[in-house]
Amino acid sequence: MPLEEIEKALNVKGINLIAIYSHTSTGRVRDLTIESEQGKKIVKATDFRRLLGWSRLPSTNFRLTASDDSINFEGKGYGHGVGLCQWSALQMAKDGKNYREILSYFYPGTVIRLHEGD
């Protein structure tokens, strides 16, 4: 992805470094370091992904390599990585499954109940 596009999406000028700052316990990117003419800042990977566009960076499960004028993102998967495929859940709902059945499918053994006081 050209640095110019990233600068436009993040509203910064003169990016000279983008690097992974930290990972989650599951290995996904949590935060990135971005150094530009405006200084250094840490950006949450989920915010970075949203600003670039979901289709441009479909997951926070990626590695990056930089060249003079672009960043190459190499990754896998789609979404937020919490174990619920939104497309599958949508299809299950269209097939008549209720929220309890859908959640039980993705999170076996989970008990759904009202919280005391509610």
Average pLDDT, the chain: 91
pLDDT of 118 higher than 70: no
pLDDT, average across residues 107-113: 87
The C-alpha atoms of residue 92 and residue 101 are separated, in whole angstroms, by 9
pLDDT digits (tens, 9 = 90+) for 37-83: 999 999 999 999 999 998 899 999 999 999 889 999 999 877 767 77
Count the neighbouring beta carbons within 10 Å of the beta carbon of residue 49: 21
pLDDT-derived band of residue 115, with 50, 70 and 90 as boundaries? confident
Confidence of residue 87 (pLDDT cuts 50, 70, 90): confident
Q: Is the dihedral of CA 77, 78, 81, 82 positive or negative?
A: negative
Cα 91 from Cα 58, distance rounded (Å)? 20
The helix (H) or strand (E) run that includes residue 40 is strand 39-44
pLDDT score recorded for residue 55? 87
Report the chain's C-alpha Rg in angstroms.
19
Terminal alpha carbon distance of the chain: 48
State the CB neighbour count (10 A cutoff) for residue 69.
8
